[in-house]
Amino acid sequence: NIVDFIDYALLAQDWMESESPVFKGNQTGTTFDPGTLAAVTTYYWRIDEVNGPETIRGDVWSFTTTVASNDSNSLVGKIMCGYQGWFNTPTDGANRGWVHWGPGIFTPADCTVDMWPDMNEMGAGEKFLASAFYDGTDHYVFSPYKRDTVLRHFQWMAQYGIDGVYLQRFGTELTPGSLEFLHRNTVLAHCKEGANIYGKKYAVMYDLSGLPLGGTQKVIDDWKYLVDTMKVTRDGNDHGYMTHKGKPVVAVWGIGFTGRLYTWAECLTLVNFLKDDPNHGGNTVMIGVNDNWRSNIGNTTLLAPCTKADIISPWTVGRYSYSTSSSWITTKE
């Protein structure tokens, strides 16, 4: 109950402030709608009785909001899709030939896609002739190396209620200067632009498949490159990069699978780097694990990265045969 000079100075400063914009004025209604509230924010309010013989000051109440499902800076309630961005054609400018449409060639006998893309909305510069499929009619495919195509995909996301994508970055394609590396960077730049134009989100997802022993170091080096050179998560004008609980989201797929040359222990080093590195860490880390990760959780080398990660995403493709089977994504608080 003693007010010293510091207290007095703070009070005096408050008294001299103009009326707060949060003052709601007088009302006779018994309810009040505050409108949209920010996520993870504490709000205070007080009801005073005025216009009587005296002002009766009410108690101060408070509550704290959680992460809102419609918060653009949270994964909660989001529909996020995978975006491989791995297609190429011989004339798209990437100098990689046919990639992922077929094994170096693209013919009816050498085709690695399940269905033909709908090209009806693609512009002339987005259509690449698949001459081997001519049947009296020309047939075309696309390449995400082309800016207009990726922007069109983000436009479709906005049209159909998809919130964003995890952009794949394959660990085997991260050699600086290689054609694969340049392709990946080009697609990343297109996704960044598309997300910002159409109000969508994107996040980097590393795929460790095919890496040799010690290969996860390439991922560490690449994340440093993305942050330092391409300004991923560091561009003040980029409002499209996905965050969760105030931290950039980075996904690492391929942890906990047997028969791979890179070890679970080095996966832990990678997760630790993405979370704790003083210059390139501070991220929300999601790891993609095998469907049997829970039964292997007794293995301490697998338990460690699962414990360290913020989000666990089990691989479920082709794993379940019955409608009663299920899987889940686990978010650790």
Question: How far is residue 289 from each of residues 50, 126, 327, measured CA to CA in Å?
Answer: 61, 35, 12
Q: What is the pLDDT of residues 7-64, one digit of tens each?
A: 777 666 665 555 555 556 777 777 877 777 776 678 888 888 877 788 788 888 888 7
Return d(Cα 90, Cα 92) in angstroms, integer: 6
Q: What is the pLDDT of residues 299-326, one digit of tens each?
A: 777 788 989 999 999 988 887 776 665 5
Tell me the Ramachandran region of residue 264: left when phi exceeds 0, alpha when psi lies from -120 to 50, beta otherwise.
alpha
User: Per-residue confidence of the chain (333 residues) as pLDDT tens digits?
Assistant: 677 777 777 666 665 555 555 556 777 777 877 777 776 678 888 888 877 788 788 888 888 776 555 566 789 889 999 999 999 999 999 999 999 999 999 999 999 999 999 999 999 999 999 999 999 999 999 999 999 999 999 999 999 999 999 999 999 999 999 999 999 999 999 999 999 999 999 999 999 999 999 999 999 999 999 999 999 999 999 999 999 989 999 999 999 888 899 998 999 999 999 999 999 999 999 999 988 887 776 677 778 898 999 999 998 888 777 666 555 555 565
Return d(Cα 254, Cα 29) in angstroms, integer: 57
Beta strands per DSSP E along the chain: 42-46, 60-64, 80-83, 98-99, 103-104, 128-129, 140-141, 164-170, 201-207, 243-244, 247-255, 284-289, 311-314, 330-331
pTM for the structure as a whole: 0.76
262 near 211, Cβ under 8 Å? yes
103 near 109, Cβ under 8 Å? no
Give the amino acid at 129.
L
Which residues lie below 8 Å from residue 183, measured CB to CB, with a gap of 6+? 88, 94, 96, 145, 173
The dihedral sign for the CA sequence 318, 319, 321, 323:
negative
Task: List b or e across 271-293, with b for residues whose CB sees 16 or more CB atoms inside 10 angstroms.
Answer: bebbbeeeebbebbbbbbbbbeb
Structure confidence at residue 324 (pLDDT) = 65
Structure confidence at residue 133 (pLDDT) = 96
Pairing of strands 330-331, 311-314: antiparallel
